[in-house]
A and B are shown apart, each in its own frame.
Chain A
Amino acid sequence: MLFSPTPLHIPDGFLNLVISLLFWALTMAMVGLAISKTNKTLGERQIPLMGVMAAFIFAAQMLNFPVAGGTSGHFLGGALAAIVLGPWAGILTMTAVVAVQGLLFQDGGLLVMGANIFNMGILTAAIGFGLYRAVRNRPRALRLGGIGVAAWLSTIAAALITSLQLWLSGTSRLEIVIPAMLGVHALIGFGEAVITVAAVAFIEQTRPDLLRAENSANGKWGWAVAGMGISLLVVLISPLASAKPDGLERIAEDLGFINAGRSAPYEILPDYTVPLLGETALSTILAGAIGALFVLGILILVGRRMSSRA
């Protein structure tokens, strides 16, 4: 099969509504920011550049390489996109890729698309570009090494957050999903790292101007700090979550996440009921509808603001 579903493209139904909408909101905010940022740095060139680059990432994901026993390494591309295009353009590019994978090939769901974009586009961009930014002006060996680590970690981070989302949705048990997902992606991440490093090295050799052009606009250290911060979190949480899932479970329970995971978004309203109607089924439904409308309203407002800014 051409586009085999990877364990990172979450289908609809596997995340509950709260998590899905939460990540949609996060993703929309970041995408909105990315649109206004790229508008400034790339100007009118942004549309054709990111459009073709999105097709490029799609095509590059086809160039899988044989690993062993008939399986093949799969390329995600989030870190590479952020490194060669800059973080904001990388985010938009990956957003388009994940959107088309979900819309056209059902590789990843629609309601959970916000989460998928966040995991595979935004988080990977932050880690990929953040670490790259930190080593960009270092000697070649260090730079390429840093890129490799960035690509590997971005895969791990995507696997980690996917597991956490599944767990918070009540779909998976933490002590099972974390070791499984991280184990597989520690391997997949190796392929990602080698491909990313080789691709960047190739571009550095043949068209170094391209790398410089896209990155000069992203000169601030903010990304490096964010990237290293998130990487540190990933490095700390991963072993903790695999070794001591109970601890994480406890924290989530204390924060009220586990319950939110079990039922739909009604937690927003007191006692899941509408005060006037008392504890009836109708009241629960109304409470649910109001909660859903509320979240939808916020999403629409955010969307409006973004499209008017764009």
Chain B
Amino acid sequence: MHVDAFNQYHAGESLIHHLDARAKVVVAISFIFSNALLPDGSWVTFTLAWMFLLLANELSGLGLGFTLKRSFVALPFALVAGSAIFSPLGEPLAVWDLGFMTLIPTDAGVRRFFSVLIRSWLSVQMAILLVATTPFPDLIHALEHLRAPRVLTTIIAFLYRYLFILTDEARRLLRARESRSANLSGRKHGGTLWWRAKVTGNMVGQLFIRSYERSDRIYKAMLSRGYAGHLRTLNPHIMRRFDWLILILSLTFLLLVQFLGWIQ
């Protein structure tokens, strides 16, 4: 596996790429917040929010369809929302008798179902755009600026740093397992499910110990460079006028969307 499997960042020189990471985080969260706040069935304002997303896509230089292509990760979850169609709160549209239970789709239910899907679909795309235009270390700094607890952001930075190294180690363990999983014809192979799960558990234990020992070595390396329990970070980002401008414009737009959504 290539290290870049963990790098969702797409380098670029666009306006969005150069925007301060804090501004981007705030806009993305506000966008998601705004979607959650819009009432069910406010199709016009959902479309406006989508326009906003498309504009951001375009300005990022990644292309209009960039996030669209990657936006279907949440789809399996749509199954879960499917049952909302049968919400008892609206007017019945039909009656489906399945024998063991009777399902009654309602107008409010259908509205709810599609609203949930659209909200989720828009929000996921914004999150995708955020990580595609912001290097992850900058994202962590932005969270620090936005007062996320320092301990947590540092843990996340470590996680990001060692993610690839440990998944690679996990991969090596898997490969070792596979290379010894011989398959003789005429015999039941692979062992029982119980046994397979147990082998996996042993590998997890092995990985744990290796990781633990590594954290010990890292701790020593930190100590030897003057770490004394107090985390310090150097955070060179400054919000420029331009960042503020974009931030305020975006938030104003989202407020407008809310306004339109609620007067309908």
Contacts and interface: CB of A to CB of B under 8 A. Distances in A.
B96 interface: no
A262 interface: yes
Interface stretch (A100-108, A132-140, A221-229): A100-108
A111 interface: yes
Interface string A257-291: 00000111000000000000000011011001100
Interface string A61-96: 011111110000101000010001000000011011
B62 to A, nearest CB: 15
Interface string A169-186: 011110011001100000
Contacts of A95: 152, 155
- Number of contact residues on A: which range applies? 35 or more
Contacts of A292: 33, 37
Contacts of A15: 36
A2 B168 CA distance: 12
A303 B148 contact: yes
A285 B263 CA distance: 8
B204 A11 contact: no
Interface residues of B, number: 97
B84 interface: yes
A31 interface: yes
B15 to A, nearest CB: 22
A106 B8 CA distance: 11
A13 B73 CA distance: 13
A149 to B, nearest CB: 15
Given A12-B127, A171-B116, A285-B258, A51 B32 contact: no
B242 interface: no
A206 B203 CA distance: 13
* A contact face: mostly helix, strand, loop, or mixed: helix
Nearest to B221: A48
Interface string B1-38: 10001101000000000000000000011001101110
B244 interface: no
B76 interface: yes
B37 A62 contact: no
Contacts of B262: 281, 284-285, 288
B59 interface: no
B166 A58 contact: yes
Nearest to B9: A104
Nearest to B255: A289
B31 to A, nearest CB: 10
Nearest to A203: B205
Contacts of B148: 303, 307
Contacts of A46: 151
A106 B129 CA distance: 11
Nearest to B146: A303
Contact of B116 (A14, A75, A99): A14
Given A13-B123, A32-B149, A52 B205 contact: no
B197 to A, nearest CB: 4
B252 interface: no
Contact of A96 (B37, B84, B156, B202): B156
Given A49-B215, A63-B200, A195-B200, A307 B150 contact: yes
Contacts of A67: 193
B44 interface: no
A75 B70 CA distance: 24
B81 A51 contact: no
A55 B166 CA distance: 7
Interface in B180-235: 190, 193-194, 196-209, 211-212, 214-216, 218-219, 222, 227-229, 231
Given A59-B207, A104-B6, A48 B215 contact: yes
A288 B37 contact: yes
A48 B84 contact: no
A51 B163 CA distance: 10
Contacts of B209: 203, 206-207, 210
Q: What 3 pairs between A and B have smallest CB-CB spacing?
A: A198-B201, A51-B158, A202-B205
Interface of A: 2, 5, 7, 10-17, 20, 31-32, 35, 38-39, 43-56, 58-60, 62-68, 73, 75, 80, 84, 92-93, 95-97, 99-100, 102-107, 109-111, 166, 170-173, 176-177, 180-181, 191, 194-203, 206-207, 210, 262-264, 281-282, 284-285, 288-289, 292, 300, 303-304, 306-307, 310
Given A111-B33, A307-B147, 5 more contacts: A44-B219, A52-B212, A67-B193, A176-B83, A181-B80
21 contacts: A10-B77, A13-B120, A17-B36, A49-B212, A55-B163, A56-B208, A73-B200, A84-B208, A92-B152, A109-B127, A110-B32, A171-B84, A171-B112, A173-B84, A194-B194, A198-B199, A199-B205, A202-B204, A202-B205, A263-B39, A306-B149
